[in-house]
Amino acid sequence: MFEFPIAIGLSPNTQTDDIWQALNALFMPWSWKEGSSVEKAEKWFKDYFGVSDAVSFNSGRSALYALLKIFNIGRGDEVILQAFTCVAVPDPVIWTGAKPIFVDIEETLNIDPGLLEKHINKKTKAIIVQHTFGIPAKIEMIAKIAQKYNLILIEDCAHCIGATYKDKKIGTFGDAAFFSFGRDKVISSVFGGMAIINGKFNPSTSLRTRMENGKLREFQQKLNYPSYFWILQQLLHPIAFAIILPLYNIYLGKLILFLLQKLNLLSFPLFPEEKLGNKPDIFPLKYPNALAQLVLVQLEKLDKYNLFRRETAAYYFRQLKEFPNIQLPARGKGAIYLRFNILIKNAEELLKIARKKGLVLGNWYKNIIDPRGVLYGKIGYKKGSCPSAEKTAGLSVNLPTYPRLTMIDLKRIVDLIPVRHS
Ligand SMILES: Cc1ncc(COP(=O)(O)O)c(C=O)c1O
């Protein structure tokens, strides 16, 4: 009766120690904004990636926006990025006044390096490389092209902290990288993000990027903290889910979730105006101490989480290899599989069947620029311009790999996949 639901989007990283940390913080509002945990989280990233500074923000979007601003990207500039993404990636580009240019994807579901040069012109300033679902993009090829055209290369590591490509950490291949601590990312503090600058990327720009490190810190220091109410919303998230999850399968959990959202006591991951390319006031702001406290608890579990995700992916690979009607994700030694994305013809139906049986699988990115309701005209995406991304969007079903899953859960998920013969 009090079984946890299999639900990819319901606070998937939250465990008992995270709930205790949130409760602890809840009763110490005097340390919600400023405190030593922000510095500790920044130091963790600085040491882990071997960079001279890591600068925190209240979301990955804010971190990306800050990077674009300090690299002087603005009106009249173009920034290349992939289709099959979340609107939270092109939006910060639009907020600077620059234009996002969408490029199609290859089999790893990341930007196709073979198509890049065709999109580069005098206005091109930067390339954002997303490592979708924690599977590394063809980053060496992309880095070479960025160097050839003297473009700024920013890695979008929202789906991967701890992934590697040829044994080198993802996040260290370009001029800069950013990370997300969103509610369903690798590690989570409900909202939060980090940016790093790598002065070693391009010899001709290394001096420039080293100087930009100071500019990034300056940019952050001029920002305000989020309001106490906003911080409260985020702290309530893991606590609320401690109550919601065990009651979810008997509907009471769903009702509590609905009421808390209606009462505005829980935040939504995206604001309606973002679907139109507009910037909510909440971005960019400083990363508050209370959320840094949450992220430090999560960072301690990063290796364990990534190992679990890799082992879960290995299980899916083994179990699903005989299914000719499914295309499995790309295999990568250094991938961390935030979600295990399969391509299946009747994706929508599979999601529906799963929901009926009480399993909520994922649908990133059902829309080429997710979520539903994004106005492509406002974001600058032309329908039909990225056929692989459009096809992938229609076929994608994400199987969960989050650390709470049990062996029984995994068997239930695999048993759901309907046909073994096409
Ligand atoms: C690929 C990708 N990049 C960037 C972001 C933005 O991160 P955040 O939600 O922390 O702003 C997201 C998620 O929203 C994402 O899926």
Ranges under pLDDT 50 in the chain: 422
Asked whether 86 and 366 are in contact (CB, 8 A), the reply is: no
pLDDT of residue 207: 54
User: Per residue in 167-217, pLDDT tens?
Assistant: 999 999 999 999 999 999 999 999 999 999 987 666 555 555 556 678 999
The per-residue pLDDT for 213 is 72
Q: What pLDDT sits at residue 208?
A: 58
Atom 10 in ligand 1: residue holding the nearest Cα: 60
The three-class DSSP label of residue 259 is: helix
Its pTM stands at 0.96
- Residue 58 in contact with residue 286, Cβ under 8 Å? yes
For residues 158 and 132, the answer to whether their CB atoms sit within 8 Å is: no
Q: Are 361 and 397 in contact (CB under 8 A)?
A: yes
pLDDT at 276: 98
What is the CB < 6 Å shell around ligand 1? 59-61, 85-86, 88-89, 130, 156, 158-159, 180, 182, 193
Q: Which atom of ligand 1 is nearest to the CA of 63?
A: 11
**Domains of the chain with CATH codes:** 20-221 (3.40.640.10), 302-416 (3.90.1150.10)
Pocket test for ligand 1, best of 61, 187, 283 (most atoms within 8 A of CB): 61
What is the pLDDT, as a whole number, of residue 88?
98
Candidate of 62, 82, 86, 194 to mutate for ligand 1, largest count of ligand atoms within 8 Å of Cβ: 86
Q: How far is the CA of 9 from the centre of ligand 1 (A)?
A: 14
- 408 Cα to the center of ligand 1, angstroms: 30
Determine the distance separating the centroid of ligand 1 and the alpha carbon of 132, expressed in angstroms.
11
Going from the Cα of 419 to the center of ligand 1, the distance in angstroms, rounded, reads 33
> From ligand 1's centre to the CA of 220, what distance in Å?
19
Could you tell me the distance, in angstroms and rounded to a whole number, from the CA of residue 56 to the centre of ligand 1? 14
- 136-163 pLDDT per residue, tens: 999 999 999 999 999 999 999 999 999 9
User: Ligand 1, residues 180, 181, 285, 294: which to mutate, most atoms within 8 A of Cβ?
Assistant: 180
DSSP string, 1-17: --PPPEETTS-TT--HH
For the record, the structure tokens of 190 come out as 């409900």
Q: 94-99 long-range CB contacts below 8 Å, 24 or more apart?
A: 94/277, 94/379, 94/380, 95/65, 95/279, 95/283, 96/65, 96/68, 96/69, 98/68, 98/73, 98/74, 98/125, 99/123, 99/380
